[in-house]
Amino acid sequence: MPIIEVRDVNFKYEDTTEYVIEHLNLEIEQGSFVCILGHNGSGKSTLAKLLNVLYTPTSGNIVICGKNVLNEENWKIRKHAGMVFQNPDNQLIATMVREDVAFGLENIGTPHDEMESIIDSSLVNVGMLEFGDRAPHLLSGGQKQRVAIAGILAMLPEVIIFDESTSMLDPQGRKEILNVVKRINKEKNITIIWITHFMEEAVEADRVVVFQHGKVAMDGKPLEVFSNEEEVKSLGLDIPPMIALTNALNKEGISISTQILTVDDMVKEITNKYANNHK
């Protein structure tokens, strides 16, 4: 059974006439890492807000972890499916990192004697244990996002939704977050919905879903989606750097495997070819 089912959802904001999500159907498999792409205004963030029950569908419905958003209390859904937002500064409210991680636990009534060990393990999972007594506002953007993730991990979620959560970070911070998220996806089998405009992040996902006008325009494994260069470009997106490089080299007559997604893949491919040519 899918962990998220979006069933024929239409959505428009109050006081507007236009639907920004139209007849959307989407099923997300438990444990998968799904990347949502689409040009500005295609409805990605609106989908995230619907999944986090900040809004409810105008028609149709959404079932998350077996709970229907139309008739379940918001906090019960958010406990199972937490969200990390774009701006790290808007998510941390306490004066100490540990208090921030405790915040959600207090809201769901976790007994105080259980809290300390949950906070410890959540901070360990994001590599921030030694920052527990620091003031959140003194951390880097990447560290703040890791604390925000720890706050959600503490609630033992089944799903985490990331709405452009790396877009305000420097390249180092972006890498840190993506590595933490890939690890918790694999080790804890937590389902990841990853909204981004960075194509090099999309190649790390199991599945890429491309939005246009609030509908799914493309859906498949990263290589399946990005091999269709013309269609991806027509949807206002770039081709991930290593796939663009592969295509360009092949066009120049330098034969490179079309299975390459990442810098590591490319280094392996070129190293092998180079070694074979110099035997």
Closer CB to ligand ADP, 46 or 125, in the complex = 46
Residue 208 to residue 218: CA distance in whole angstroms = 8
Closer CB to ligand ADP, 13 or 75, in the complex = 13
Residue 93 to residue 112: CA distance in whole angstroms = 20
Closer CB to ligand ADP, 14 or 113, in the complex = 14
Closer CB to ligand ADP, 39 or 188, in the complex = 39
Size of the site for ligand ADP (CB under 6 A): 11
Q: What is the closest distance, in whole angstroms, from the C-beta atom of residue 235 to ligand ADP in the complex? A: 12
Q: What is the closest distance, in whole angstroms, from the C-beta atom of residue 86 to ligand ADP in the complex? A: 10
What residues have CB less than 8 Å from 41, skipping those under 6 apart?
none
Closer CB to ligand ADP, 18 or 113, in the complex = 18
Closer CB to ligand ADP, 38 or 173, in the complex = 38
Q: What is the closest distance, in whole angstroms, from the C-beta atom of residue 25 to ligand ADP in the complex? A: 17
For the segment 22-61, give every residue that binds ligand ADP (CB under 6 A): 38, 40-46
Return the biggest CA–CA distance within the chain. 70
Assess 17 for contact with ligand ADP (CB under 6 A).
no
Q: Which residue is nearest to ligand ADP (CB)?
A: 45
Q: What is the closest distance, in whole angstroms, from the C-beta atom of residue 39 to ligand ADP in the complex? A: 7
Assess 20 for contact with ligand ADP (CB under 6 A).
yes
For the segment 126-165, give every residue that binds ligand ADP (CB under 6 A): none
Binding site for ligand ADP (CB under 6 A): 13, 16, 20, 38, 40-46
